[in-house]
Structure 1
Amino acid sequence: MERPSPCMDLLEYSVLHDPLPENTVRDIIKKLVQALIQFDKKWGFHRDIKTTNILIQETQEGPRYIGTVNYCPPEMFLSHECRAGPTSVWQVRAIVYELLNGDGNDFDVFEWLNGDLSLKTSEASEEAIDFIHTCLSVEPANRIRLEEIEGHPWFNTSIMAPSSSS
């Protein structure tokens, strides 16, 4: 794959801009979902969507998206099988979790299954938290469909930047 210049992976980008503003996270995820839908239609199942496999190119218009065990959906461990759409949704959810939590708070499926993992940021909007929960179901059939993600209210709301105190 050709690597545009300048660019960095999403993990590097999120560390450099920690914490990422929710608007930026939403824009990156929206572009990622669009790319995943096309990828699934043309080539099938990616299976390894994670922050180090997503390239970001900074432009004057903002970041541009260019197309691991912790990211595996629970069905991989519970039934040893998974399908493209529900797995992609689970992995998108893991990325949103990490980007909104910042500061190296990695998503871990085992911690989530044990009930030891929660969204640690108080900065996330209600819509963002609802979006994460629509992707959470252990049962793949109960997760939001990849094609329905852009219709979620999180992608259709204006999120105010946090005010800075002096």
Structure 2
Amino acid sequence: MTALRVLILVQERPVPAVDLFEYIRENGGCLPEEKAKVILKQLVDAAKDLEEKHIFHRDIKSDNILIETGSDVPRVRIIDFGLSCFATERSRFRFFYGTPIHSPPECYWGKKYRPGPTTVWQMGVVLYEALHVGDFNIMTFIENELKFNEHLSPHCRNFLDACLTDVPEKRMHKMQHKNSRAWFYSRVKRARLMRVSGVLAFWRRKSASEFSREPQSRVIALFH
């Protein structure tokens, strides 16, 4: 019989709020760089918080990011943990769970993928879609046809390049470089991290051999 692990988190749901996809649409199809920076800084902090708790979301995208709109600055919550699992820094996964057009190149090429580099890639996709009209598509990246807004600041472009590189190990290394982090601290005050909203229940089946391979998890999010 397989073992069962359950983690229940009880947290808030802001009112009023919309998902980031709708928020971008309401702002004309793309965001000013300064506003995107406020959102991404919070998203990075939230991703680090999840990583410290050994939680791998696996499907960070604009539809799964809730934006509180009743405050002076947009405040971020990550939602929809239906594909998430428990993971460590050394975890490797063979089968991709998430949005196919947002998958990192290593998944497209049939290679194993790791939590950290995958999350960094997905944050890059979120930022790209926030700053450009239209959706990101992995095939456009693979075919070297991805177009960048020529009006982006050098720091912003460095951050995007750090996230959207086809070498997983370089994503983590570049993200730690001061040139990539510099974007967050130019002109914009640090935004306060707001926690994940909702009630989240994680189920994980595992056996002794399964623990080090492909975790199976299910998540239900129940909102107030």
What TM-score does the superposition give when structure 1 sets the normalisation length?
0.85
Amino acid at match of 1:86: P
Q: Could you say which residue in structure 1 is the equivalent of 2:22?
A: 12
Q: Could you say which residue in structure 1 is the equivalent of 2:143?
A: 114
Structure 1 segments unaligned to the other structure (5+ residues):
160-166
Counterpart Cα distance in 2 of 1:148 and 1:35: 16
Cα RMSD for the two superposed structures: 2.1
Q: Could you say which residue in structure 2 is the equivalent of 1:61?
A: 72
**Residue among 97, 100, 108 paired with 1:77:** 108
Residue 60 of structure 1 and its aligned partner are, at CA, apart by 3.2
**Residue among 124, 130, 133 paired with 2:161:** 133
Residue 79 of structure 1 and its aligned partner are, at CA, apart by 3.2
Larger Rg: 2
Greater length-normalized contact order (CA 8 Å, ≥ 6 residues apart): 2
Amino acid at match of 2:15: S
**Equivalent residues of 1:37, 1:147 under 8 A apart:** no
Q: Could you say which residue in structure 2 is the equivalent of 1:33?
A: 44
Question: 1:89-122: CA deviations, max 9, x gaps?
Answer: 0000011111111x3x111111101111121x23
**Equivalent residues of 2:16, 2:70 under 8 A apart:** no
**Residue among 116, 120, 132 paired with 1:89:** 120
**Equivalent residues of 2:159, 2:175 under 8 A apart:** no
Counterpart Cα distance in 2 of 1:155 and 1:8: 23
How many residues matched? 156
Structure 2 segments unaligned to the other structure (5+ residues):
1-10, 79-98, 189-224
What TM-score does the superposition give when structure 2 sets the normalisation length?
0.64
Q: Which has the higher strand share?
A: 2
**Equivalent residues of 1:86, 1:145 under 8 A apart:** no
**Equivalent residues of 1:20, 1:100 under 8 A apart:** yes
Indicate whether 1:152 and 2:181 are aligned: yes
Counterpart Cα distance in 2 of 1:66 and 1:149: 26
Amino acid at match of 1:157: S
Deviates more, 1:40-49 or 1:85-94: 40-49
**Residue among 42, 54, 59 paired with 1:48:** 59
**Equivalent residues of 1:11, 1:52 under 8 A apart:** yes
**Equivalent residues of 2:15, 2:70 under 8 A apart:** no
Residue 20 of structure 1 and its aligned partner are, at CA, apart by 1.1
Amino acid at match of 2:182: P
* Identity fraction in percent: 35
Residue 88 of structure 1 and its aligned partner are, at CA, apart by 0.5
**Equivalent residues of 1:89, 1:146 under 8 A apart:** no
Q: Which has the higher helix share?
A: 1
